[in-house]
Structure 1
Amino acid sequence: MGNLFSQTYLDDPSTLTDKVYDYIIVGGGTAGCVLANRLSADPSVSVLVIEAGGSHEQETFSKIPVAFAKLFKTHADWDYDTSPQPDLDDRELFWPRGKLLGGCSSLNAMMYHRCSPTDFDEWESMGAKGWSYNDLLPYFRKAENFTPNLRSSHVNPEDRGSGGLWQTSHSYIAPITEKFIEAAKEIGIPYNPDINTRKGSLGVTKFMSFIDNKGQRSSAATSYLSKDVLARKNLTVLIGTTTTRVLFSSNQAVGVEVAKTTSSPRYKLLCKREVILSAGAINTPQVLLLSGLGPKKELEKMDVPVVKDLPLVGKNLRDHLLTGAITLRAKPGRTLDFLADPIKSLPAIIQWFIFGTGPATTNVGEAAVFVRSNDATLPFTSQSVDCSTTNDKLIDTTSGPDSPDIEIIAAPMAFLSHGLRSPPPQTNCFTMAPLLLRPLSVGSVTLASSSPFDKAKINPNYLSHPNDAKILIRGVRLVLRIARAASMQPELSLPPVPQVPTPDEMDLFYPGDADPDIISDTEILKWIKRNAETIYHPMGTAKMSSDEKTGVVDVDLKVWGVTGLRVVDASVFPTAVSGHTCAPVIAVAEKAAHMILETVDQGRS
């Protein structure tokens, strides 16, 4: 494998047992790549990154933006399932999570979104001092290198970061998606040219993406683990290796135990300063629990020796729930469904391969609407239909008056069952997908056993709070109104519907075909329960807080009650951000790296 600090990735932990590092980072995902880069920039600091998956470099489907779903249920995916969800017809929901360098930034769709400024101000008001929007803004900007193009003509470059390692831009947008934007404006939703400013997300917008000027995904791995970074003598990246637990001497974290498989030898890898868990909102709490940090009764039940009774490890799980893809009949030639055909897509793939342009550079979710469910100016309801559910008083769950609780993603193609199911041949589909940004339903991650090779139990507890269903129903109603705006009519083939079709027909185009003045809330909710899915944003399972009774880590992201152990990933989010999580995770990791290096500097002085 070469010497200890070679440019290649190591995959044999036995060669590292005689080395003591300054920092061990568990997880080479979105946050882990940022930390690896920034910490090892100090040549006096030695860093080991441990990733359970493999390298991103040979994953072609990760590089081609439109092909991201091709990685689902492969070796690059943890391929999780939730426990049966009582309020979603007892379904077990598929949860893809990146199992490769770059983590979910190498796996999921490429929406660059800073979310709402008040989301982070709310964090501070909840006790996370130093994590307001003003505190995080320098790190959003530090990470980003925005490249303007013709699709970003209305964006003010001064609002964007430049010179960062993470490439952002506006990528391909289909003409039918442009019509979606016009339709949203017709029904009263203002255009927002840049949802990543102090003004916030409200409005309809073209998504900014993290697709570079070569038309390839700019993941945390491609951005932060470049060849020159990997060549640093003080950085080691160990792949294909599972962290089984954190090692403690008394209450001081001194390293980790790792193994290749359930039956292979276990090795102890040591550090002098800190272990940093960046394994994501599922694996981070699992490692904490396996290490004896968590609710005492749960640990004792699994015969895990208790290091510290921390009741909220694995609790406070939040996720953004999608109603399911609302598929609308589009006229021939209007959509990108041809990209799902190996033959028909070939010209687009060749164009991508040679020029880095064209429809293969779409991030699928090309545009979006962000609104508040209590906005009385928008057509959420109808006078001619029973809207008793949505007319019930809604709880305002937003972080502020300029923050949304509904997002509607627009895609110029079918996206059925996470892209794993294809529509019938010759079908042309335009997708609108409402999702819940500020859920009141809270779930948990718990151990299934004491084996680190058994998947953790995931219970998001979807729709357990009735307010969540009310908001999602409003999202569906707004979709039906956008679909019937004048701008969409030349693009869609909506049939005249004298009465609503029965959901039991499982029609591909239900409820898109439904008349918004006839369909009832009961029928919409029945469809949601049968079709709702995750949009891949779990967070909050190692919550940041001002004391150990209300969270897992302090405002320095250090785990309460022990020393030498931090968490840096979406687990630390105190509550749900109102948008896509990748950019906030990278900003959190940039800030965390700065805080850690400050302590190194203080130690020298």
Structure 2
Amino acid sequence: MNERWHVVKHLTTSSPARTCGLVLANRLSADPKIRVAVIEPGEDVRDNVNVTDPALFTVPFGTSIDWQYSTTPQPAAGNRTIPWHAGKAIGGTSTINGMTYIRGDRAQFDAWEALGNEGWNWESLYPYYKKTEKFTVPSGAQMAAGATYDPEVHGETGHVHTGFPFSFTNSSFHELATNTWAGLGYPLNEDVNAGSVRGFSTWPQTLDRDRNIRFDAARSYYYPVEDRPNLTLIRGTVKRIIWSRSSVAGGIAVAEGVEYVSPDGELVDVTAAEEVILSAGALRSPLILESSGVGNPSLLNSLGIETRVDLPGVGEYLQEQPNTVLVYSSTLNWSGSAPYATFSTAQDMFGDETSSIETSTLAQIPDWAKKVAAASNGAVEAANVEKLFRVQHDLVFRQNATLGETLTTISGGYFVSAMWLLLPFSWGSVHLTSVEAINAPAIDPKYFLVDFDLDVQIGLGRLAQKFWHTKPMGDFVDGSVSPIDGVLPLNATDKQWTSYIGDSLMPNHHPIGTASMMSRELGGVVDPKLRVYGTKNVRVVDSSILPLQFSGHLTATLYAVAERAAELIIEAA
């Protein structure tokens, strides 16, 4: 049974990546003449201590506020299906993520414009980064523990509180880590949010330090304005876009609203007077598009869905970063936490071999592109993938963008490194599996489809291992916990590293690209105004539109993108 709901001007459909959707809801509803509805299946978690307490990160995993996805079997991981977490709550994944606030390298955002997205670059995003942020200057104790910052690059009046947690440890760990990384050629980076992340640094988090509360998207943008009479939050899961009967097959598709599934299983229609805006994230926005007949005709036909808009790029170009962890026991027992990150360039990792590796990998790009295209079952063309790979290759080898991140932290009596390649050439997909299975996507990141990605991941593992065995830090390492001693000796072979990485591989939960902002010819899904090609009034504003990976964590950039998108939408109204 279908019900009808009242007409709204802008319909923002958001789940699970609510970061962008709630920014839009806040900004659009600031005009009392604009009626905005947000559709969200998740619960209100403003009083859920597992969300609000920054120290309880990871506790919500596997609970009712986690979508609890999993990947398809991954050959590079022994054909394991790997759990994938995403927030199912008002605030989406920002309610369960690691709260990291790092933007990325300037050149990586400039590359978006190089793909044909006029006006999308570092300089255009920078004011929005500052607009969103309300930065708390670190205390004297935090400065003593190693917190550094550049006041010029942070905002002071935004909605999103950022700062260093009070649990930031004031021990000798920071000095040891700084000196050890410096000995390995990594200088201290005063502030990773200034447009260059290379080196060793501390980083702020999305939290209110003085209240010790996570500042997720809902706390930042929704709760303060939830009582606006022109803003409505509807509980439900968006299933598909409803098209106007005046839409002509083969012409421009006009959306008149969406159909969603209510908590009690009813199908309900909501009519939008102006636009439908998808902010459902890289894992769900493509599913809504495909359910609506927007995507690869071959796939849609196999699912019994009529094609409204032929856009083979929908769901393709999924770029995710594989994560590997090493754990060591310590001879000391430090308390607190230490959010320290080290970012590596190609020159850092390959040294004197960088030039030869640049040449050899450049020659392999056509083959890499063919692999990705073949894995898409013809949805994307190898020639287009090759063009994108050449842009990314240039970032790595000519513009010195960082391609690896290593997290260095402590937990009680344990030392921990988590590392991931930042700019993978192994691109996968996320697709609908059936008309009814909107909550069960086929997520296939295709980890290590391209061998170079595995080479980088192994290099990062060896770098982390070397760090823990280099003075002065090495003097305090007692033994290996994960993997256990002997599995990865200091002279471990590529084969041993490949085995360990495959056995322990986990997602980094930074998916992008599945509704990419770039030309339709390259396989893009949205234009620089974020409108879906072939539609009159459907936009996508979330991580799925980001065309290339970057060296930050998603949250900071998604807030900036959504703020800019809100202005674009208001200007067009």
The normalised TM-score by structure 1 is 0.82
2:218 corresponds in structure 1 to 221
- Does residue 205 (structure 1) correspond to residue 201 (structure 2)? The answer is yes
Equivalent-residue separation in structure 2 for 1:513 and 1:170 (angstroms):
36
Distance between the aligned counterparts of 2:546 and 2:352, measured in 1? 33
Is 2:337 the counterpart of 1:330? Answer: no
One-letter code aligned to 2:37 = L
Residue in structure 2 matched with residue 119 of structure 1 by the alignment: 108
Aligned partner of 1:170 in structure 2 is: 164
Structure 1 gap ranges (5+): 1-12, 337-358, 382-388, 414-426, 496-506, 601-605
Write the letter of the residue equivalent to 1:435: W
Residue 160 of structure 1 is matched in structure 2 by 154
Would you say the 8 A contact 2:287–2:438 is kept in 1? no
Map 1:375-386 to 2 at 5 A. Answer: 375=348
The share of aligned pairs that are identical, in percent, is 31
Shift of 1:481: 1.4
Give how far 1:452 is off.
4.3
Tell me how far apart the structure 2 counterparts of residues 80 and 299 of structure 1 sit (CA, whole Å): 22
CA contact under 8 A between 1:113 and 1:583: conserved in structure 2?
Answer: yes
User: Is 1:584 the counterpart of 2:573 in the alignment?
Assistant: no
Of 131, 134, 153, the residue aligned with 2:123 is 134
Q: 1:519 aligns with which of 492, 495, 499?
A: 492
Match of 2:233 in 1: 237
Q: Distance in 2 between matches of 1:223 and 1:59?
A: 16
CA distance in structure 2 between the partners assigned to 1:390 and 1:173 by the alignment:
39
Please state how far the C-alpha of 1:476 moved relative to its aligned partner.
0.8
SS in 2 for 1:97: coil
Q: 405, 408, 414: which one pairs with 2:406?
A: 408
Please give the alpha-carbon distance, in whole angstroms, between the structure 1 residues aligned to 2:319 and 2:468.
30
Q: Which stretches of structure 1, 4 residues or longer, exceed 6 Å deviation after superposition?
A: 376-381, 389-392
* Equivalent residue runs for 1:560-579 within 5 Å: 560-579=533-552
What is the distance in 1 between the residues matched to 2:220 and 2:529?
25
Aligned-partner residue type, residue 278 of structure 2: L
SS at match of 1:111: coil
With over 3 angstroms needed to count, the CA separation of the structure-2 counterparts of 1:531 and 1:149, relative to structure 1, is same
- Which amino acid letter does the alignment assign opposite residue 315 of structure 2? G
Aligned to 1:247: 242
Aligned pairs for 1:141-540 within 5 A: 141-150=130-139, 151=142, 154-171=148-165, 172-174=167-169, 175=171, 177-178=173-174, 179-198=176-195, 200-213=196-209, 214-227=211-224, 229-239=225-235, 241-249=236-244, 250=247, 251-260=253-262, 264-322=265-323, 324-334=324-334, 336=335, 359=336, 362=337, 366-375=339-348, 393=360, 396=393, 398=395, 401-413=399-411, 428-494=413-479, 508-510=482-484, 514-516=488-490, 518-540=491-513
Match of residue 348 from structure 1: none
CA apart distance, 1:595: 0.6
Contact 1:544 1:572 in 2 (8 A): yes
For these two proteins, the number of residue pairs brought into alignment is 522
Partner of 2:373: none
Task: Name the residue aligned to 2:377.
Answer: none
Mapped to 1, the partners of 2:359 and 2:535 lie a distance apart of: 46
1:68 maps to: 57
Q: 1:77 to 1:209 in 2, by over 3 A?
A: same
Deviation, structure 1 residue 370: 0.2
Contact 1:20 1:269 in 2 (8 A): yes
Does the Cα contact within 8 Å between 2:150 and 2:190 map onto a contact in 1?
Answer: no
RMSD, matched Cα: 2.4
2:84 to 75, 91, 95: 95
Give the equivalent residue in structure 2 for 1:3. none
CA contact (8 A) 1:299 1:305 kept: yes
The residue aligned with 1:339 is none
CA distance in 1, matches of 2:44, 2:503: 36
Contact 1:256 1:269 in 2 (8 A): yes
For the residue of structure 1 that corresponds to 2:318, the secondary structure is coil
Distance 2:359 2:62 in 1: 40
Deviation (angstroms), 1:316: 0.3
Q: Is 1:554 equivalent to 2:527 in the alignment? A: yes
For the residues of structure 1 that align with 2:499 and 2:510, how far apart are their CA atoms?
24
Letter in 1 for 2:330: A
Q: Which structure has the highest strand share of the two?
A: 2
Q: Is contact 2:404–2:421 with CA below 8 Å preserved after alignment?
A: yes
Contact 2:487–2:496 (8 Å) recurs in 1? no
